[in-house]
Amino acid sequence: MPAIGIDLGTSNSVVAVYRRGRPESLPVQGQSLMPSCVAVKPGGGLLIGIQAKTRSLVEPTQAVLAIKRHMGDREHRVELAGQSYSPVDISALILQKLAEAAQDQLGEPAGGAVISVPAYFTNNQKEDTRLAGEKAGLRVLGLVPEPTAAAIAYGLNQGKDQTILVFDLGGGTFDVSVLQVKGNNFEVKAIGGDHALGGEDFDRRLIDLLVRRLRNEGGLSSNAPEAEIRLLNAKLKEVAEAAKKELSVADAAEVTVPDTRGALRVMRITRAEYEGEIRDLVEKTIVATLETLKRARLSADDVDRVVLVGGSTRVPLIARTLAERVSEPYTADNVDEVVAHGAAIMAASLSAVAEELAPIEVTNITAHSLGIQADKDRFAVVIPRGTKLPAQAVKTFTTARDNADRTDVVIFQGEDEKCNNNRQIGGVGLTGIARAPAGLPKIDVTFSIDADDVLKVTAADRTSARTGEVVIERFTPKPYQPGPDRNLKDLQSLRFGVSGVGCDNAGMVLRGLGLSSRDIEDKDFRRAAVLANYDVVFINCMADSTQLYGLGDSINPELNAPALQEFVSRGGVLYVSDFAYGNISVPFPGKIKFGERFQGVAGTATATVADPDLRALVGPTCPIEFNLAYLPALSARSDCRVYLTRGKEPLLISFPHGNGHVVYTSFHNSQQQSEKAQQLLSYIILQTIALAANTPLVELVESNNLRDTNRPRRG
């Protein structure tokens, strides 16, 4: 049973096999390239390939093109004939069609398949490609980076050592890889590219040019129906693809363009005009190529051969610019098929069917840096981009807050200094850290990644010997969420302090949530050493009666301010309700602007829910009860998070200070009676707790022990 190689492309896909000492493409529907398109039949059912592409020109809303650009996005869905499909589903249909065509040509089912993926694909994109293959009924022998596959097809059995730069510009993705070839050993030295740049973008520029001309010539009405615009775009895409091919061999192309009035217009496009439209896109590929060479610690003079791969490399501007800025490129035969040919060679090597094929050794590297989220959203890299696989590295971190006993080790991949701009790929919770002042605990975070890109992350506290571990094989793009057991442990281990009851009773709300708290005496709010024994402190509204009636100094904001500032700065969370507002305005001046006493409107009010998480729980509005003695918060500074409003008046606010947070509600929690308001109240308290339920880490020791555990491997 022969194994096959598949190039699952954005625009077109190819299936190939290695036999009789060479790779060859297998025809699908009579052609070597099959459009990566799925469409709805006029009478129902689905079309795949050439017929689907034809159908897309008539009913563009009933067809799916370029689904590869959405691989890895588990939220993306497309609707066809009333049914919802994921990118994995659509890709599986395309792969199944290729496998069926291969079976027809070979006379038996394939014994396995190697599928190519862009070198710049993230782990979850790779995993979704593997899932699509399995869903199509294929035994996936492995995934191979597209440039590596091209290098194998070009460099196999060449009989000389060489450095190859593969410039792979397909329909939807751009990859550039630098490989050193020694015999049949292919070592990837650096990877670069852009998974959202390809021939589809070149087509879009031509379409935009044609649309501008139609508008100028009156062939496109400004108020044309959306359905007409969609149909016109589908037709213009076909025109643009034909023009692009003609401009690759000629100085000008004449195209017939339909307009929205039913007329046909003949337009002439010169190569110079086309190149002017795409010059910035070509420049992006050159910049990425030079950056990749730099990461490989090579110059253009060190490259023995630049190999062009992918149909979009037929654009003359690309070869000309590469010759000027890098080196004269070599255009492989059948640039659209060479990746599938390399995948077929890999498949034959892995399946051991082709006895005459010498073993192929491929050494891959990480396409993205891997690390964790440290304090202040900093991306702490543990395994840098370009590290040989397999590899292992350890970095040591400490806690950013005093007496922390828990943290989340949240794992990202990317190159930005801020985690928020990178891709989150998983996480692990670590509880039971030995409580100590910030900076003393030592938490070792170990990343181990094998040759198949399976990542294992372990976090271990040296003092308590507590560990947490996660294996990331099938990545999910959803943010890491601690499990219910972890949450329960965290909430139970937090230390809650509550002021006297007054008109509010935060302690009652905590008990309703199954949590215990301790009362804090009035005098202790001015003692930092006492507050240091708590993670969350609640000050009920009437606990500070001086601000309402002037009846004494039960909790005096002036005296409390230094201790409260220190408590929050060191990582504590302070919850203040209504008339205890002085405990915000004095220690944290300027954050919230308050009105006058008794100025607010009492009674039931309808609050607008501004926070999306809260809106998902209680809906867009919520009833709030206000006491007769009500003081409004007039405004909040821009660094505050506002959850609830009444008109422009913020009702529920939080803001960061130092390593901690402050939460303020302008209403009494004990007065909320309706079921919806009770839900809201539980949410407020839980959100307050959540701000204290995790301790960010700080990188303590720079890693100097990145271990290259690389071993040459077959495949």
Catalytic residues: 7, 68, 146, 168
The phi, psi pair for 22, rounded to 5°, reads: -155, 155
User: Whole-angstrom Cα distance, residue 695 to residue 609?
Assistant: 28
Using DSSP's 3-state secondary structure scheme, residue 614 falls into helix
Task: Name residue 425's amino acid.
Answer: I
Q: How many residues belong to the chain?
A: 715
Query: Residue 388 carries which DSSP code?
Result: B
DSSP 569: H
DSSP label of 434:
P
**Cα separation, 286 vs 291, whole angstroms:** 9
Tokens coding 689: 């707790």
Taking CA atoms, 499 is separated from 290, 348, 540, 575, in Å, by 63, 73, 6, 10
* CA–CA distance, 633 with 666 (Å, rounded to integer): 7
**Single-letter amino acid, residue 19:** R
What is the C-alpha to C-alpha distance for residues 51 and 13, in angstroms, rounded to an integer? 14
- State the virtual CA torsion across 645, 544, 640, 519 in degrees, nearest 10: -110
Q: Which residue has the tokens 């990145």?
A: 706
Using a 10 angstrom Cβ sphere, with 0-12 exposed, 13-18 middle and 19 or more buried, the burial of residue 457 is: buried
Helix count (H) and strand count (E) of the chain? 16, 40
Q: What distance separates the 2 farthest-apart alpha carbons in the chain?
A: 98
DSSP 8-state assignment for residue 546: G
| Contact present, 410 and 424 (Cβ < 8 Å) | yes
Give Cβ neighbours of residue 195 (< 8 Å, ≥ 6 apart).
69, 118, 120, 121, 125, 172, 173, 174
- End-to-end Cα, the chain, rounded Å: 19
DSSP 77: -
96 in Cβ contact with 125 (< 8 Å)? no
Q: How far is CA 139 from CA 95, 115, 163, 476, 629, in A?
A: 12, 10, 33, 22, 71
d(CA 431, CA 464): 10
Q: Which two tokens stand for residue 478?
A: 């959803």
* Contact status, residue 262 vs residue 127, Cβ threshold 8 Å: no
Give the SS3 label for residue 312: helix
Backbone angles phi, psi at 337, to 5 degrees: -115, -10
Closest CA to 610 of 561, 585, 647, 573: 647
Integer Cα distance of 488 and 245 in angstroms: 62
Please work out, in degrees rounded to the nearest 5, the angle formed at the alpha carbon of residue 577 by the alpha carbons of 537 and 539.
Answer: 30
In 3-state terms, what secondary structure has residue 76?
Answer: coil
The 3-state secondary structure of 163-203, one letter per residue: EEEEEEECCCCEEEEEEEEECCEEEEEEEEEECCCCHHHHH
